[in-house]
Chains A and B, each alone.
Chain A
Amino acid sequence: MNDDESTCAEVVELVSDYLDGNLPAPEAERVADHLSGCPGCTAYFEQVRATTAGLGRVTTEDLPTDVRTNLLEAFRVSRKSEE
């Protein structure tokens, strides 16, 4: 808890933009000040940061093999027809 003007309820709505560096300088500074004095918002901010890190590790399923085979075949055919 500190005596800056932002409440925690306001800061949690800014952390995503803060994380991406999308806040105008004065606002970013206000968030940084708040975070430095507020363990609760710091914990929340770290959780959002960890969430984006986790999202970055999500792997995606591959294209079904038969679709891939068809595509390569289509590529061969289309390129041949242009020669």
Chain B
Amino acid sequence: MRQASNFSEVRMSRAVVCLVAILWLLPGHRAQAQLRPVLPARDAVVQAGTGVIMGRVVDASNGQPVRKARVHDGGTQALTQTAPSQPARDRSQTAGYGAGVIRGRILDAATGRGLPRAEVRAGPNAPQFPDNRIVLTDGDGRYEIKGLPAETFVINVSKPNYVRASWGAERVEGPGKRIPLADGQVLDKIDVALARAGVITGKIVDEFGDPVTDVSVTAMHYQYVQGSRRLVQAGRGGATNDIGEYRIYGLTPGQYFVSATLRSFNGINTETTDRSAYAPTFYPGTGDVSSAQRLTIAPGQTAPGINLTLLPIQTSRVRGTAFDADGKPLSNAMINVMQRVGSAMIGNSGAPVLADGKFTLNLTPGNYMLRVFGPAAGDGAATELVVNGGDIDDVQLIATKPSIIRGRIAFTESATSAPPPKPTMFDMGAVREWMLGQPMRSQAKIKDDGTFEISLQPGHAVIRGLMTGPPAAPPGPNGPSPWRLNRVLVNDLDVGDIGIDVPANGMIENVVVEMTNRVSAASGRVTDADGKTVRDCFVIVFAQDPVHWTVQTRHLSVSRPGTDDLFHVRLLPGDYYAVAMSEVETNAWTDPEFLSLARERATKFTIADGETKTIDLPLSASPVF
């Protein structure tokens, strides 16, 4: 906790002096600004940002220059640090800093106006990304990234409600062109135009043609989630107002379905005789996504007039009983209800479980997930339920007590002279798919002797662990690696990728979680049919054995060639395929069907423990389903 206001602020009329200083001082100090405006306000800020500020900030108590002053324009309040008297030297001694400058303007693609407060990053992203490589544009859309070393950069730009873009990209959301920067070089006019993100608007009416308020309208598109293509929500906004109008915005270019859902007002009502409700309705007016119309949204496009009439429907009454793990009625609990639309889960509502364990729900036809949590933490039950229009009277939810996984943490021989860390330094847990695409993690309790215990709900789980503590120095391509999970052994079988089936009310013992800091790595160049180096592509490296083609696999690495024209992947030892493709849908590589097609064009290789290999790849066509 920190107390307020140990800084003072001096504000001057913009007409007289365009700069304002906020001084960050110890309590008791007074501050005053001595700043000479040399340029109109916004330019002055840009100048201040470059470190060539024309003025000094002094501490009024002793007249000494103040190093931690922040200078900003009274109108824009874009804050920048004053040029301190020494840091230039400090910075030059820090890796990742230099004297190079990249500047330019970020513009609205439609109007050509400068866009304020766009985020500009000088990539590629390093693990320890120096802060000075991310800046926000000023009121005219101008930015300047300074203090850059002699490296090759890519300029990536993002702003809410705009489509992210990179300088020199040849297609929407494609990779940017490289910008080689010499030592101390100042590069100007690195301008990027941003297209507004897509918008869908329309009006929702009921069967009488009256506008309906509070309808949740969503844009959905197919995405790879956990190994299969599923409909997921995109964009923002979408609730209808008093005249039934909605506006969904922030859509990246792509194809969308529009769905309208009016949450039943009596979802948790236990005694209603009112069965009127509406089905989730897809544009142009169907309850079935397979007959829904797909809208293609281009960058900057607004699709107006996407109007819908909600489909009236009758609700079904679902009655059931919830029991605890001992078979006694579960009172004092809530049933959580979610509906599956396409493959997304929507509507999260609850209903009480009465003292006798009984519950009543009124649900529209559809597929549901019912969950209940018992009074003891960790126990609970879930069931899928299909409602077809008739009443359902005998749903039983029987809670299970948490199951237990026990074992110990082991270490491979260290790749360095340093001994392995203490087992308690690992943040480890079992990850289970709790709902479609939603993982749930149960934390392992680790003792000093390396033994651990995980208490979790039954189901299919994988064990994952990371080292805690301050982040290690960024590893170079061949540098030391932090300790990480190598294998998970159950009866000498590595289940690290395939996971463990945890039985209800069960216990799995003698699990060995092996950690390693040894690194196997591959790198290489991708060339097209003409032998030219390709950078705009994805390199997918995956295990030859399909047993590892799981969503949670660690025998998979996806990368893109970097500014050195090479791709770099770190791998566990084993037999691999590698393939380079110009376009791949995100997460397609989690789909075994995709991998089995990709393997036909792939290059085979084997990598041993601690080995570093060079693999050059031809550019392949993307598999077509």
A binds B: no
Q: A-side interface residues toward B, CB under 8 Å?
A: none
